[in-house]
């Protein structure tokens, strides 16, 4: 990739002292110097699985679906959690973004669903965002092709009556975001008392987004809960007591130390000198080599809107996902981005969390994010599945 060349042009700005003191700035707890890091060799982050999926004790159709999806070997988190989850040990799985945590819980769940002795095995999967819920549903559908299993997904911004009717059917797996799940539970349509298995995905994000009370209410109504797994990219020691409350006597599998960024993402900052035209700097950056699929983070919905419009006016195909856009709009924008019909997806944190698009070349932060956890999640949108990626952060 040729991004080195691009970097050089901006490096000269790096030594300038931070200015713009009078400007209204977002408070950030991040030291920008922490955001500079070379990507490590790809092989350093490649894990050598002990067994391929084909060598594992899995249903033949599940094996064939995995193969179809291009999943040959389990990732590290998948391999190290698999036995525990088959044996229904409560588990906390910590691994960087993009390391296959979705498969880590879905594959054992599918295996257990296919086990003839486990009739009425039902799972609830709670995730923080709508996009992520749809993605998990999509992965479940791919993994369960031809297996006659059923899934339903319940997220905000969609018709409640459609949810209600899909909940009347039998569902092996129910996926959803906390708000909608709680709503359906309170209406009496979602009956949790008979569901044994619970997955809390991207738990750190759920806490950040203030979902803890909703999650507590949902979890407390799972009266016959037998098995709980919690996955997260980061773990703040302050969250420990909350986690203990949700998951009793867990096995902990840590593939990361709980706070490191993806090692295969090169990271750099771009200082914006006083009086410089920041948008112009962005345009220059975006026209560099290798900037094929870029997620541009904006702090506010308004800014996301403005950036998307200005990029299009400047001849760069862009679209936006954020909380002011309808779910339908967000799905369409994400789809255009996946297909490569647009080059830049402008996003706010809430909308972009958990988005998994293959081959995102760059993540750009138009402003310094509020905290380091947010930063980690953002840059985790690139450098996924062992691929290299780059992240740039503008520092005013
Ligand atoms: P995380 O939840 O850890 O952020 P995901 O579950 O979204 O990561 O997976 C990241 C990417 O890796 C996805 O594109 C997924 O399809 C892919 N992936 C997951 N497991 C495997 C595997 N065993 N082999 C190849 N690709 C995989
Ligand atoms: Mg995930």
Q: From the alpha carbon of 74, which atom of ligand 1 is closest?
A: 23
Whether residues 143 and 247 fall in one domain? yes
- 330 within 8 A of 131, measured Cβ to Cβ: yes
Mutate to test the pocket of ligand 1, among 102, 106, 234 (most ligand atoms within 8 A of CB): 102
Give the end of a domain, one of 197, 222, 254. Answer: 254
Whether residues 222 and 303 fall in one domain? no
Pairing, β 318-321 against β 362-365: unpaired
Q: From the alpha carbon of 97, which atom of ligand 1 is closest?
A: 4
Whole-number pLDDT of residue 385: 64
Whether residues 56 and 85 fall in one domain? yes
Q: From the alpha carbon of 385, which atom of ligand 1 is closest?
A: 12
Indicate whether residue 101 lines ligand 1 (CB < 6 A). Answer: yes
Whether residues 99 and 160 fall in one domain? yes
Give the end of a domain, one of 230, 254, 278. Answer: 254
Domain count, the chain: 2
Q: Which residues of the chain have pLDDT under 70?
A: 1-26, 38-46, 116-119, 256-263, 351-354, 384-386
**122 in a structural domain:** yes
Ligand nearest to the CA of 203: 2
pTM reported for the whole predicted model? 0.69
For ion ligand 2, residues whose CB falls within 5 Å: 101
- 222 within 8 A of 247, measured Cβ to Cβ: no
Indicate whether residue 103 lines ligand 1 (CB < 6 A). Answer: yes
**331 in a structural domain:** yes
Give the end of a domain, one of 209, 235, 254. Answer: 254
CATH number at residue 317: 3.40.50.300
Whether residues 164 and 188 fall in one domain? yes
User: Could you list the residue range(s) of the whole structural domain that residue 78 is in?
Assistant: 46-254
Helix count (H) and strand count (E) of the chain?
16, 13
Whether residues 76 and 139 fall in one domain? yes
Whole-number pLDDT of residue 41: 46
Indicate whether residue 356 lines ligand 1 (CB < 6 A). Answer: yes
Residue nearest to ligand 1 atom 1, measured at CA: 98
- 228 within 8 A of 248, measured Cβ to Cβ: yes
Q: In what order do the strands lie in the sheet with 344-347?
A: 265-271, 389-395, 362-365, 294-297, 344-347, 318-321
Whether residues 172 and 303 fall in one domain? no
Whole-number pLDDT of residue 265: 82
Whole-number pLDDT of residue 240: 85
Whether residues 159 and 231 fall in one domain? yes
- 100 within 8 A of 387, measured Cβ to Cβ: no
Whole-number pLDDT of residue 20: 39
Q: How far is CA 153 from the centre of its chain?
A: 17
Whole-number pLDDT of residue 46: 64
């Amino acid at each position: 990739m040729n991004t080195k060349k691009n970097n050089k042009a901006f490096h000269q700005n790096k030594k300038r002292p931070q200015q713009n003191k009078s400007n209204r700035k977002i408070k950030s707890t991040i030291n920008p110097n922490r955001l500079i890091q070379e990507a490590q060799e790809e092989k350093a982050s490649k894990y050598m699985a002990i067994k391929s999926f084909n060598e594992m004790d899995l249903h033949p159709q599940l094996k064939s679906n995995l193969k179809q999806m291009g999943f040959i070997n389990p990732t590290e988190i998948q391999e190290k959690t698999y036995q525990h989850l088959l044996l229904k040990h409560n588990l906390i799985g910590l691994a960087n973004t993009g390391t296959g945590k979705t498969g880590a819980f879905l594959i054992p769940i599918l295996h257990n669903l296919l086990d003839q002795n486990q009739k009425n095995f039902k799972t609830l999967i709670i995730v923080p965002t709508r996009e992520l819920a749809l993605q998990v549903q999509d992965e479940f559908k791919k993994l369960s092709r031809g297996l006659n299993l059923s899934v339903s997904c319940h997220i905000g911004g969609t018709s409640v009556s459609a949810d209600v009717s899909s909940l009347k059917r039998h569902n092996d797996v129910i996926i959803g975001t906390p708000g909608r799940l709680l709503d359906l539970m309170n209406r009496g349509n979602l009956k949790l008392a008979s569901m044994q298995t619970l997955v809390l995905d991207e738990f750190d994000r759920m806490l950040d987004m203030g979902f803890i009370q909703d999650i507590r209410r949902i979890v407390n109504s799972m009266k016959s809960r037998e098995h709980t797994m919690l996955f997260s990219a980061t773990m703040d020691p302050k969250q420990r007591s909350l986690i203990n409350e949700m998951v009793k006597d867990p096995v902990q599998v840590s593939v990361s130390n709980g706070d490191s960024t993806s090692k295969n993402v090169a990271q750099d900052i771009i200082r914006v000198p006083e009086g410089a035209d920041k948008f112009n700097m962005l345009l220059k950056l975006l026209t560099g080599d290798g900037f094929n699929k870029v997620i541009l983070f904006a702090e506010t919905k308004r800014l996301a809107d403005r950036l998307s419009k200005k990029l299009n006016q400047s001849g760069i195909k862009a679209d936006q996902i954020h909380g002011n856009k309808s779910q339908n709009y967000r799905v369409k924008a994400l789809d255009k981005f996946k297909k490569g019909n647009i080059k830049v997806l402008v996003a706010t944190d809430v909308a972009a969390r958990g988005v998994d698009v293959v081959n995102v070349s760059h993540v750009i932060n138009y402003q310094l994010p509020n905290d380091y956890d947010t930063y980690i999640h953002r840059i985790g949108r690139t450098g996924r599945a062992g691929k290299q990626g780059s992240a740039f952060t503008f520092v005013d």
